[in-house]
Structure 1
Amino acid sequence: MNLKSTFLSLSLLFAANLFAQNREEFIYASMEAKHAQELKLSHSDLIEIIAINNDLASVYIHPEVTHELHQKILSHGPGYMFHATESNALNTINSPLEMSRTVLEYSITNQEYVKTLLDDVNKQNIEEVMQHLESYGSRYHLSAQANEAAEDLKVRWENLIAAANRTEDISVRIVSHVNTPMKSVVLTIKGNENASQYVIVGGHLDSIVGGSNKTYAPGSDDNASGIATITEIIRVLLANDYKPQKTVEFMAYAAEEIGLVGSNEIATQYKNQGKDVFGYVQFDMTAYKGSSKDVYVSIDSFNNNDLNLFLYELMEEYNSFGDHKFTYATTRCNYGCSDHYSWAMKGYPAAFPFEASFNDSNPYIHTTSDTFDKNGDGSHAAKFAKLGLEFVVEAAKRSEVLDVVNLNKTKAKFYVDQKAVGFEVPSNKTIKSATVINVAGQKVATKNQVNNNDKINLNQLPKGAYIILLETTSGEKLTYKFILK
């Protein structure tokens, strides 16, 4: 047993003695049933399993026990969702997840503009924000510094708006919550042609450490890195006079670490108001490169397959070669692992690109060692800023710019004929290879030395959404999304 595990066990033993008779600090939560059962075996006095349904459990639990989700069960967190009442916890496990709609409406049409934005990303800006957020000492949701950080972030974002002279169509608001005193921060760029549709990027502002002492919780990677990444996305968009067709929002949430409190309250409000969220992307930990690839897209069942495909398509289009090249793969993060779950459970398309495979993610999170010096410079996080820019511009589009036919389609024609996909390419193009990618990011069919009017047989593949990727001999990549019926 290492020192950290020993300390955690001693802390929980003390907590068991202290709270066995007094349950004032206990909370209601939902989590995977197998995780609740494991916690019950080791800490029977600190967790009560209320009910189990469909592999989920509603529990009454002391918050410190939840940190074992990170030590023994999960590699990212919180891994549970907070509920204000027992009935809410029971309703969550007894109600089926609202599956997000199928949307193959995402397209890539703004190549030249996006490439200009990518050139403007500055890793030093990300580093400065990370170090500034770490300097608060703690952003634990009950600390005074948490709201100080929120108010200061609001001012920082307002200064970016003022510098761009965009106070007429861009605003920042503080959001108060019911189940935490900490505030969230939301920046809104009002859409022009289709303001009722929302494209949202979010990440949590709070931080946490295990044990009873929360006075030093630096949270450099988790999640100062995500907020710094989002701030750089905002800066680049405003510096380049971005005006969207759809409404774009950036959110810095309160109290993610105690069960997705801030994001759940906001997502619930949006659902109750009938707001149409076209796509949601989460940035929670972007700085630590723990795996061989750069970006790992979560493919848990509650994530939206079409939105994940769109992220793959964006990275193939913008990041597969040249100055902005980076690599991607997929991973899983389990129940309630970050704020995107709050949006997914309300039926909104949600995706979560992460800094590493979850098995290789930052070992310092939720400890006093989650500091800037452990994460290197801002180079890794800058890749996520680029992906965020690509997502925002291509999902929300540009105001007063006609949504022209995908440039890829002017270079090549694609068609699906029963269980085969075919293509025709201009005579001045020579195709080196054709590859089909599924929603899990896997290359499921490849054909080399492709001729014009060629086909790829897909009889072995199940029904669903796919991307076909053509690579020319000159290194150009063309993508097209299709449904196999």
Structure 2
Amino acid sequence: VVWISVGKEDLTHPAGMELPLGVPVLSSARASVYRIAEDRLPAIAEQMHDKFHKCGGFFAHGTREEAAKDLVAPPPAAAVAFTVDQGAVVRPIVAQAQESEIRSTIGTLAAYNNRYYTADTGVQAANWIGARWAQLAKNMPGASMKLVTHSGWKQPSVVLTIPGSEKPEEIVVLGGHLDSISGWSGGAGARAPGADDNASGIATLTEALRLLGEAGFKPKRTLQFMGYAAEEVGLRGSADIAKQYRAAGTKVVAVIQFDMTNYPGSGEPIFLLTDNVDPSLTAHLKKLVEAYTGVPAAETRCGYGCSDHASWTRSGYAASAAFESAFDTMNHQIHTDRDTLGNAGGDAKHSVAFAKLAAAFAIETAKPAGSASLAPTGR
């Protein structure tokens, strides 16, 4: 048995009234909590996708007490003054971004039968990502890779850490979910290539890490690249990590989420989410898009619990997210066996700007070692 929390915005929508959730055990003006059998999570995830086009759309919790915390607004994030002043470092690095590298990573991940959170192939894909990230960071001083295990399912999350030289206790997180899902029944045997959702986001992060590694980038703040397990069934991997960080008092300065970067459903812009994010960090993101990616920035909303950035917001951290299109023109092949590279145009051109953004975010938010500027954290 698990408890899930669903936002009132969805529950009061006509489509939300059709969700097979039963009677809530707890409720507030913000969300409602339901007690369900864990094996129903794939079906609920698919209904959220079918009715609201959401990747996720709810939080899954191990206890009623944990779920009850979602009935109130999350604590505010600590104020941080973000700056954009490292163009001389950023521009030559992002100029090396390669479509072929991103396309290759998408192809590798989509070749697994699925990356489902309880499937052996879900574990294998996580292991491959961890090994690939460790290889790309091997020349970065102190870099280390860890597979984070979770209670209740076999797929680990992946965390690659590059320690900061001056403020190692302050962490900048770049993340995306590594799992995939397909169909109403979902399950460990279903074919779920997840090329766009979310091999593209992991490939974007992988290319940014390649750029930083080849440039020998040394950050002032600690950088962590994260591939989250079990996003498709209630943001479970990211919620687990964010909760652990909050309990430990870990100082996360900023978080960016890359969930679907390769389907140009609204043309060339990078769309920045405006809900369940930190406004000042999102403003910083817009400046980075305009300064370094070669494409314009636009805005969209995705609703309650739509991806892993919401886990960090829920834990009181400043989070942001970049998306492939306006929400209503996203890739509607996701969560099926048709979520292939071929059905997103056959290349990874749209993701190149996102890889540039990821590298720029890492450099401008963590700042290069030896540079003059480092914004105070307000902590």
In the superposition, the TM-score normalised over structure 1's length comes to: 0.73
Separation in 1 of the partners of 2:174 and 2:105? Answer: 17
Alpha-carbon distance change, 39 to 363 in structure 1, aligned in 2, over 3 angstroms: closer
Q: What is the CA RMSD across the aligned residues, in angstroms?
A: 1.8
Separation in 1 of the partners of 2:60 and 2:89? Answer: 41
Q: How far 1:402 sits from its partner (Å)?
A: 2.3
Matched, 1:98 2:71: no
CA contact (8 A) 1:120 1:236 kept: yes
Aligned to 2:305: 336
Q: How far 1:48 sits from its partner (Å)?
A: 3.2
Which of 196, 199, 203 is the equivalent residue of 1:228? 203
Aligned to 1:313: 287
CA contact (8 A) 2:137 2:209 kept: no
- Secondary structure of the residue aligned to 2:112 is coil
Separation in 2 of the partners of 1:298 and 1:57? Answer: 23
Give the partner amino acid of 2:362: V
Which of 37, 45, 52 is the equivalent residue of 1:66? 45
Matched, 1:133 2:112: no
Separation in 2 of the partners of 1:226 and 1:108? Answer: 24
- Secondary structure of the residue aligned to 1:91 is helix
Unmatched segments (≥5 aa) in structure 1: 1-25, 320-324, 406-485
CA contact (8 A) 2:270 2:289 kept: no
CA contact (8 A) 1:99 1:345 kept: no
Matched, 1:161 2:161: no
CA contact (8 A) 2:164 2:220 kept: yes
* CA deviations over 1:275-330 (Å, ceiling 9, x no partner): 11111000000000000342110001x311100111111222224xxxxx211210
Alpha-carbon distance change, 275 to 404 in structure 1, aligned in 2, over 3 angstroms: closer
Matched, 1:145 2:113: no
CA contact (8 A) 1:175 1:183 kept: yes
Q: How far 1:87 sits from its partner (Å)?
A: 2.6
* CA deviations over 1:315-357 (Å, ceiling 9, x no partner): 22224xxxxx211210000000000000011111100110000
Once the two structures are superposed, the pairs formed by residues 209-358 of structure 1 within 5 Å of their partners are 209-214=182-187, 215=189, 216-300=191-275, 302-319=276-293, 325-358=294-327
Matched, 1:115 2:91: yes
CA contact (8 A) 2:161 2:222 kept: yes
Aligned to 1:382: 352
- Secondary structure of the residue aligned to 1:221 is helix
CA contact (8 A) 2:45 2:232 kept: no
Give the partner amino acid of 2:241: I
Separation in 1 of the partners of 2:267 and 2:73? Answer: 36
Larger Rg: 1 or 2? 1
Alpha-carbon distance change, 315 to 34 in structure 1, aligned in 2, over 3 angstroms: closer
Q: How far 1:41 sits from its partner (Å)?
A: 4.6
Q: How many residues align?
A: 367
Matched, 1:401 2:379: no
Which of 148, 159, 164 is the equivalent residue of 1:186? 159
Aligned to 1:417: none
Which of 56, 72, 76 is the equivalent residue of 2:31? 56
Alpha-carbon distance change, 152 to 244 in structure 1, aligned in 2, over 3 angstroms: same
Aligned to 1:415: none
- Secondary structure of the residue aligned to 1:66 is helix
Where in structure 1 do 4 or more consecutive aligned residues deviate above 4 Å? 37-41
- Secondary structure of the residue aligned to 2:24 is strand
- Secondary structure of the residue aligned to 1:257 is coil
Give the partner amino acid of 1:89: A
Give the partner amino acid of 2:314: M
Give the partner amino acid of 1:71: D
Give the partner amino acid of 1:305: P
* CA deviations over 1:352-397 (Å, ceiling 9, x no partner): 1100000000010111100110112111111100011111101100
Separation in 2 of the partners of 1:270 and 1:380? Answer: 33
Q: How far 1:100 sits from its partner (Å)?
A: 1.6
Name the % identity. 35
In the superposition, the TM-score normalised over structure 2's length comes to: 0.93
Which of 147, 162, 172 is the equivalent residue of 1:199? 172
- Secondary structure of the residue aligned to 1:352 is strand
Unmatched segments (≥5 aa) in structure 2: none
Separation in 1 of the partners of 2:151 and 2:15? Answer: 28
- Secondary structure of the residue aligned to 1:341 is helix
Alpha-carbon distance change, 40 to 361 in structure 1, aligned in 2, over 3 angstroms: closer
Alpha-carbon distance change, 88 to 107 in structure 1, aligned in 2, over 3 angstroms: same
Separation in 2 of the partners of 1:236 and 1:149? Answer: 22
* Greater strand share, structure number: 1
Q: How far 1:68 sits from its partner (Å)?
A: 1.4
Q: How far 1:112 sits from its partner (Å)?
A: 1.4
- Secondary structure of the residue aligned to 2:151 is coil
Q: How far 1:160 sits from its partner (Å)?
A: 1.5
Give the partner amino acid of 1:296: F
Q: How far 1:34 sits from its partner (Å)?
A: 4.8
Matched, 1:80 2:58: yes
CA contact (8 A) 1:40 1:48 kept: no
- Secondary structure of the residue aligned to 1:77 is coil
Q: How far 1:33 sits from its partner (Å)?
A: 2.7
